[in-house]
Amino acid sequence: MHITVHGTPTLLEGKEMILLREAPAARVSNLDGSQNVIGMIAPSAQLLIAIPSLKTEVCSLGAKKFNDLIKQFKKLKTVMITTDDIEFVNDFVIREGIDKAEVVLDTNRDFAKKYGILISEGKLKDRLARAVFVIDQEGYISYKEVVAEITDEVDYDQCIEAVEKAANFKKKGHDHENWMGV
């Protein structure tokens, strides 16, 4: 898959994600240095936001905008993933009040490779492409957007619409209460 970086075609490394397929588990680092796993099946829907660098205007504005947009969702796990240095990210989270999403580091590029968004060449080599993935409670990718030009923003409206569907997802089949007619 390709994107453009300031108009220059740039190859992405890793396996391209396909809608309605299982989301892979990816190992990332929390800001306290501990390891975490994101993706796959979880108790609630997930919104994974890949951020090339919080040091840029588009990325920092996007992180703040998503932090505001997701406040309405009680059953949603939101994770912002970046490759920036830990000191900068810690300062950014505190300074900008990012409190509705976990911010993690893709130090080994495990997430980038498994989700097919690792920039493999040019001045942004080893950074993440700008992308969002919505994963439903059954662990399937229900929405994805890999932004075609790195300097463009994601389609927030379509992403939030997909989050609403995933966050309000009803599991298939029946549970005991439904069977009893409660």
Is 17 in contact with 144 (CB distance < 8 Å)?
A: yes
Six-digit token string for 9 = 């075609």
Single out the catalytic residue among 12, 26, 59, 163: 59
C-alpha span between 78 and 91 (Å, rounded): 19
Give Dmax (Cα) for the chain: 60
Catalytic residue check, 59: yes
What are 147's two structure tokens?
């932004």
Which residue has 């409660």 as its token pair?
182
In this structure, are residues 93 and 104 in contact, taking their beta carbons and an 8 Å threshold? Answer: no
Neighbours of 99 (CB within 10 A): 9
Structure-token pair, residue 2 = 């390709």
Catalytic residue ranges = 59
